[in-house]
């Protein structure tokens, strides 16, 4: 199945893209998606455990993803 990975700020700069279409197995978790993203050039600049949101809600590494989900890697936030 395919999930959309969104990248922002320093992470988008590291990978040279703001979104990726990632193919993962049907029972994949957030951790599996991150492992796949790590195969992209520039991904060595991501932290080991980036903060993640699935469909605009913070999620942990064990959360299961579904076809079409939006998985966002969230750099350290700096609002205000």
Partner 1 sequence: MTPLATLVRTPIDPIALVRAVSSPGNGAVILFLGAVRQVNDGRDVTGIDYAAYEGMARRELQAIVDEGAARFGTGDVVVEHRLGELQVEDISVGIAVGHPHRDTAYAISRWVIEELKRRVPIWKREHYTDGTREWVDPTGHTSAVSPR
The contact set with partner 1 (CB under 8 A) reads 6, 8-11, 13-14, 45-47, 53, 56-58, 72, 74-80
Nearer to partner 1, 16 or 27 (CB): 16
Cβ atoms 30, 52 nearer than 8 A: yes
Complex with partner 1: residue 27 or 55, whichever CB lies closer: 55
Closer residue to partner 1 (CB): 25 or 78 = 78
Strands annotated E in 1-80: 2-7, 19-23, 51-54, 57-59, 70-74
């Amino acid at each position: 199945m395919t999930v959309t990975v969104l990248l922002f700020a320093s992470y988008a700069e590291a990978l040279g893209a703001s979104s990726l279409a990632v193919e993962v197995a049907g029972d994949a978790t957030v951790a599996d998606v991150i492992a796949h993203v790590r195969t992209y050039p520039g991904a060595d600049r991501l932290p080991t455990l980036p903060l993640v949101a699935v469909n605009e809600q913070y999620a942990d590494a064990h959360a299961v993803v579904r076809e079409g989900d939006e998985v966002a890697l969230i750099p350290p936030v700096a609002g205000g």
